A and B are shown apart, each in its own frame.
Chain A
Amino acid sequence: MTVHSTSPQFKQNAARALNDDQLQKALNNVKQGFIDKRQMAADKLPEFEALRDASRDIKNHTLEHLDLYLEAYEEKVKASGGHVHFARDAAEARDIILNICRETDAKTVTKGKSMISEEIGINHHLEANGIQPVETDLGEYIIQLRNELPSHIIAPAVHLNATQVEEDFRRVHTHLDAKRDLSEPVQLLTEARAVLRERFLAADVGITGANFLVAETGTSIIVTNEGNGDLTQILPKTHIVLASLEKLVPTLEDVSQLLRVLARSATGQELSVYTTFSTGPRRSTDADGPENYHVVLIDNGRSSMLGTSFEEMLRCIRCGACMNHCPVYHAVGGHAYGWVYPGPMGAVLTPSLIGVDQAGHLPNASTFCGRCESVCPVRIPLPKLMRHWREREFERHLTPATVRSGLKFWGFFAKRPALYRLATRVAMGALALAGRRRGHFAWLPMSKGWTKYRDFPAPQGETFQARWERERKGQAA
């Protein structure tokens, strides 16, 4: 494990989140905006559903031939003058990156937004070795100032309100006039732009992630709205691309399909503002761009997901639509999930990467409402995969003892229809009698979880099967 996980404390995290007024206010921004915009974008493109199918198929095809596409990709990167490094795990990736930075004698490193860089915890590693990493995506910059993890994969600071950002800027940007006005979001943006502009120009190395890698041409692709990823990669002497293995796609045609669903699913845009295709270092015919181009291909658990039911998760293109549509995410936000990836995609991916013993709560904390799957651009069956994690937990006896014994008790009766009918007849009769006056219970033994927030409706009394037997069985054919 690389980044410390608080996933085992999911329940406590969630309880804290539910009582955090600032967070709850900020989460309101997720509930409507993203959902409406995605729907409008989908409605405007009649081929959207067909593109989702195509995107799923492209990813499946690539994963089934991943070894061969990786070979082709590697060859192309080398041919264009770039370097490809393979990292089995986070520690190897960190060392490779540090070595490249040392080779160029780097003092500061600018960074585009990259979830894999969060996953491998590169920032702390660079800092510990005397190199200053500077996040340049506005949201990432804000959370770096606060020493937090992103709470959303495309909107890292979605858990914060403008007043909190203002406080951070005043705390950190001490070289600026203390009396300046920062009451409007645009003033915060302007300040960050000016501060980061200097960082861009001074950086020795730029690190970006990759939304996709193209085997046909050895190209890495980043998608941003701010342009920070581009300034990160064209200004410094060295550009390092961090990418997990599953970012690969075969051709420019294939990536064009995926790009058609990515922004629409994420922000509801036709296309993000900047889609950048980078191939190798600057050419002799170029007037700018990096002199060195490195790609660090990181496995960190992916190759073991292939060939299992969790292979489907490797289709994920990190659009964030699943969390934007998740009632649980809406309620508790991203930090409660306790590691790098929140929401439904995190609930499936995190146990694969840090172990279901650590992250077991995540696939359990779902109502299985299925809204995530219904919007996933690559049609990942997220509820099904969460259920698969529950099955693995059950097989490994990680399911809590109370749940296991409850299931056993209920299963015992459910498998014995006669006993079931007798027991339920007695129990429901008693319960109905007890709840007769109000029609519901504000408290019931062993039901605290339910009755803490809601009453428990009383049963009508006689069970359906008892009444059916009494009224109908005689006349049935």
Chain B
Amino acid sequence: MSARDDIFGNIRRSLGVNGSETIRRQIVADRLERAPKGVIPKRGQVSGEERIALFKTMVETSLATVTEVASPAEVPQSIALFLRNHNLPATLRMGDDPRLKAMPWSDTTLEIAHGPSRGSDLNAVSHAFGGIAESGTLAMVSSADNPSTLNFLPDNHIIVVSAKDIASDYESVWNRVRFAYGKGSMPRTVNWITGPSRSGDIEQTLLLGAHGPRRLHVIVVRE
């Protein structure tokens, strides 16, 4: 008997079932299909300016920094300023995200590189799929537009998020993922990012920049 058959046999024996019970199969199919929501904290259930304000507060709680710009055209200048303020070199890696590509990078003296990171980049920018106000989380989806390596290898990670993509809760983001990728399908990687990398493994002292970015900077774009 294969390990698989053995394990299923053992599970079913322990549960006292045979696996073909119509009611059980229906219950499971139904739950997978309907994906019922559970308890959703009231905290995030606000809209408009209030939701953006909550998002920014929670981003800061996660020890990231956040700023706001009026339009996509202001993003390059804002990033250049951020790098300058932190005495960081004027270099920046990004993927092929059309929203990022369309921004006026030539307004700045930033040296731009494209494609995934191989580990030597100091700074990178990614465009978020969405934000989650409840916890100040950025939801990133993998693709050539926003390679996952940019989320982790650079020392300083800048994430651009559109104000309209800031949702109240995780569940709202899952709905958008389902709409974009189809029910039951996912991009290869979804990263929820809540603050810069950190470790408490040495004497439970919180230190930033364990393996991932030491700094996380979020730019909220109003359209």
Contacts and interface: CB of A to CB of B under 8 A. Distances in A.
Contacts of A80: 185-186
B3 A86 contact: yes
B190 A277 contact: yes
Contact of A279 (B119, B153, B187, B194): B187
A173 interface: no
In order of increasing CB-CB distance, the 10 nearest A-B pairs are A227-B212, A226-B210, A139-B201, A306-B14, A303-B10, A307-B14, A275-B192, A277-B190, A279-B186, A251-B35
Interface string B67-100: 0000000000000000000000000000110000
B32 A250 contact: yes
Interface of B: 2-4, 6-8, 10-12, 14-17, 19, 24-25, 27-28, 31-32, 35-43, 58, 61-62, 95-96, 115-116, 118-119, 134-137, 142-144, 147-149, 151-153, 169-171, 174, 177, 184-205, 207, 209-213
Contacts of B212: 226-227, 230-231, 273-274
Contact of A201 (B15, B118, B194): B118
Contacts of B209: 189-190, 193
20 contacts: A47-B41, A68-B19, A142-B201, A157-B201, A161-B203, A216-B35, A231-B153, A231-B211, A235-B149, A245-B7, A250-B31, A260-B41, A275-B194, A279-B187, A286-B147, A288-B148, A303-B10, A305-B14, A306-B15, A307-B15
A222 B36 CA distance: 23
Nearest to A188: B202
A281 interface: yes
A286 to B, nearest CB: 5
B202 A276 contact: no
A197 B119 contact: yes
Given A72-B28, A230-B151, A271-B137, A219 B211 contact: no
Interface in A70-96: 70, 72, 76, 80, 86-88, 92
A209 B84 CA distance: 39
A225 B11 contact: no
A226 B198 contact: yes
Interface stretch (A2-10, A26-34, A117-125, A403-411): A26-34
Nearest to B118: A201
Contacts of B38: 51, 54, 58, 253-254, 256-257
Interface in A304-321: 304-308
Q: Is the interface of B mostly helix, strand, loop or mixed?
A: loop
Interface stretch (A59-67, A325-333, A356-364, A428-436): A59-67
Contacts of A185: 202-203, 205, 207
Contact of B187 (A47, A68, A87, A283): A283
Contacts of B213: 227
Contacts of A155: 200-201, 204
A366 interface: no
Contacts, number: 269
Contacts of A108: none
B202 to A, nearest CB: 4
A189 B202 contact: yes
Given A46-B41, A250-B31, A288-B147, 13 more contacts: A51-B39, A68-B28, A158-B204, A227-B152, A227-B213, A256-B38, A256-B170, A271-B135, A271-B137, A273-B212, A274-B191, A288-B116, A308-B14
A228 B211 contact: yes
B210 A227 contact: yes
Contact of B32 (A50, A87, A215): A215
B7 A88 contact: yes
Contacts of B197: 225-227, 273-274
B186 A219 contact: yes
A217 B15 contact: no
Contacts of B148: 230, 234, 286, 288-289
B35 A66 contact: no
B132 to A, nearest CB: 9
Nearest to B198: A225
Nearest to B134: A270
Contacts of B144: 285-287
Contacts of B137: 271, 275
Contact of B143 (A29, A196, A280, A287): A287
The residue among B16, B186, B187 with the most chain A CB atoms within 10 A of its own CB is B186
Given A45-B41, A64-B15, A286-B143, A276 B116 contact: no
Given A138-B202, A272-B194, A256 B149 contact: no
A136 interface: yes
B10 to A, nearest CB: 4
The residue among B17, B193, B204, B213 with the most chain A CB atoms within 10 A of its own CB is B204
The residue among A66, A217, A269, A278 with the most chain B CB atoms within 10 A of its own CB is A217
Nearest to B41: A47
Contact of B15 (A33, A67, A251, A283): A67
B14 A226 contact: no
A197 B95 CA distance: 21
A270 B116 contact: no
Contacts of A142: 201
The residue among B43, B194, B202 with the most chain A CB atoms within 10 A of its own CB is B202
Contacts of B211: 136, 193, 196-197, 200, 226-228, 231
A186 B127 CA distance: 30
The residue among B25, B40, B203, B205 with the most chain A CB atoms within 10 A of its own CB is B203
A65 B11 contact: no
